[in-house]
Amino acid sequence: MIISNIHAIYVTNKPLEVFILSEKYVCAICGHEYNPDIGEPLQNIPPGKEFQSLPDDWLCPVCGAAKKLFNRSGN
């Protein structure tokens, strides 16, 4: 006897992994990239802090440009 059209289904208890891509911002003056996954350790900004939640008076750590001169990265 030949059995055909058998489909294997595997069920695990492993949780589904979900990746959320953080938005990166780039300084229009010097090209420095703010990556929320890294933060800015030299400015005591911890990983996980989104760009929008940085203070309005935050400055680029490389060139001192204002926050408003950063643009969302296409990456």
Model pLDDT, residue 22: 81
Model pTM score = 0.70
Query: Given the structure tokens 């492993």, which residue do they identify?
Result: 14
Q: Are 67 and 53 in contact (CB under 8 A)?
A: no
Among 1-5, 8-12, 58-62, name the most confident range: 58-62
Dihedral (CA of 64, 48, 17, 19) sign:
negative
25-72, what's its fold?
Rubrerythrin, domain 2 (2.20.28)
pLDDT, position 69: 98
What are the residue boundaries of the structural domains of the chain, listed by start? 25-72
Higher pLDDT, 16 or 25: 25
Supply angle C-alpha 54, 25, 43, rounded to 5: 45
Say whether pLDDT at 18 is over 60. no
